Structure 1
Amino acid sequence: MSDWRSWFAFGSVLPLAPGVHAPSRFSALLAAALDDCAGRTVIDAGCGAGLITIAALRAGADRVVAIDIDPVAVELTRANVARTIGGVSSARLQTRQLDFRELSRIDADLLAVNPPQRPQSILKSVEPDQRHLHEGGGPDGLDTLRLVLDHTAAAVVRTTAADILPSHNLEGRTCRRVLTATLPMHRAWHPLTGPAAPVSVWDLRH
């Protein structure tokens, strides 16, 4: 699958667990940009239900290290890999319960992340029971991405970002746009973007 819509449909039927939300359109776009993972070691940072891990394994990654601070998400990713692509791919999977501040412990060619990126100003419009999943973007929406960039040892960080975010604020990074699509946006974004907006996948290097 190379189209974000196909990945979104796939993610929408992945089994979930309490506290783990269904993969978003942003994650589906990131999954669609992982067709170059063959032979690489990939970190899925914030693995959730495992959509990005599955995409990287299907693309031929030698090894995927799926991490999440939530142990339920870590086990869910392992189960969803086994359920959807079987034991051969499971042998190429490692899972760890880690905070993003511990990313330097893992060497990888590529780190894939769909970080919380809603600016503080729009969090009040997110459903209260979902708000904790979207906190951390800070005033400009990029604080969690900065945290990942500051702590990973991966050669490349591949991330989603709404085009409205000020990516020029990521000083000292070489940026390459991998993929762009216009996505339907959650209503919390509407004051900034309207009901649909361009979202891009970027490769970031030191």
Structure 2
Amino acid sequence: MDIEQWAEIGGSLQTSDGVHRPSWFSAFLAAGMDDCGDLTVIDAGCGAGLVAVAALQAGAPHVVAQDYDPKALHDTARNVTRILGSRARARLTLWEADWSRLRPMQADLLAVNPPQRPAALLPAVPQDQRHLHDGGGPDGLAAIRLVLRHAGAGRVRTTAAAALRFDTREFPGWSAPRCVAMTELPYDPAWRALVPDLLGQVGIWELHRECADG
């Protein structure tokens, strides 16, 4: 299934007030989950559950949907049941927690589309949506660093805007980022200061754990 099809599914998801609606970045990540048919997967920061739906549709035997917002977990469960049915819902576990509590969630693969707008871009985000995009820090990568610091999974797969130069960064305890896929996507208007045309490259990157933390 291609990105446009996943974007269409994302647009059809039932989403409560204050829950992140799937973006083009989310659709790209969902399109990249077709290789997880035999993996236990964590959808970290699941929002309305598009990546969880993708992993379950690909055949993942167990998917953990994690979010700090109980409304997001409710939406994810509802959307999985509506799109894939009760058997898929039985393979889904809901985990209400923030990213500092990821460690107990053991899995083969953690997939995340983290907040990645550098703090300087946040004033361009509507006030009622700012809580969904805060967390990138000065360089836009603070949220993924938080995930990597606390993840219990052996692999982490993340989106990253090309403007953030994710491939040049080092993450202690993890392998160098490996590009799984790269494509050109529309950007939200809040990105205009970094992506003037609002159309730019986005990567899916994978990191493998090299050693146990602490």
TM class by shorter chain equals over 0.9
Instruction: Report the CA distance between 1:171 and its aligned residue.
Output: 3.3
Q: Who is 1:47 aligned against?
A: 46
Distance 2:156 2:171 in 1: 15
Matched, 1:205 2:204: no
SS of equivalent to 2:128: coil
Match of 2:9 in 1: 10
Partner of 1:157: 156
Unaligned runs of 5+ in 2: 210-214
Query: Could you state the TM-score of these two structures normalised by the residue count of structure 1?
Result: 0.97
1:171 maps to which residue? 171
8 Å CA contact 1:119–1:137 kept in 2: the answer is: yes
Structure 1 portions without partners, runs of 5+: none
Where do residues 135-146 of structure 1 align in structure 2 (5 Å cutoff)? Answer: 135-146=134-145
Residue 31 (structure 1) shift? 0.2
Letter paired with 1:187? P
What is the one-letter code of the residue matched to 1:44? D
Measured in 1, the distance between the counterparts of 2:47 and 2:131 equals: 14
Q: CA RMSD in A?
A: 0.9
Shift of 1:193: 1.2
Whole-Å separation in 1 of the counterparts to 2:95 and 2:149: 19
Aligned to 2:188: 186
The 5 Å alignment of 1:89-128 reads: 89-128=88-127
TM-superposed CA distance for 1:170, in Å, is 3.0
The alpha-carbon deviation at position 169 of structure 1 amounts to 2.5
SS of corresponding position for 2:159: strand
The 8 Å contact of residues 161 and 202 in structure 2, kept in 1 or not, is answered as: yes
* Superposition deviation, residue 187 in structure 1: 1.0
Distance 1:55 1:137 in 2: 25
Structure 2 CA distance, aligned partners of 1:171 and 1:131? 27
Q: How many residues align?
A: 205
Identity of aligned residues (%): 50
The answer to whether the 8 Å contact 1:146/1:170 transfers is no
d(CA) in 2 for partners of 1:79 and 1:188? 30
Asked if 2 retains the 8 angstrom alpha-carbon contact of 1:45 and 1:68, the reply is yes
Q: Which region of structure 1 is more displaced relative to structure 2, 158-167 or 110-119?
A: 158-167
Taking the aligned partners of 2:113 and 2:88, their CA distance within structure 1 comes to 22
TM-score using structure 2 length: 0.93
CA distance in 2, matches of 1:82, 1:61: 15
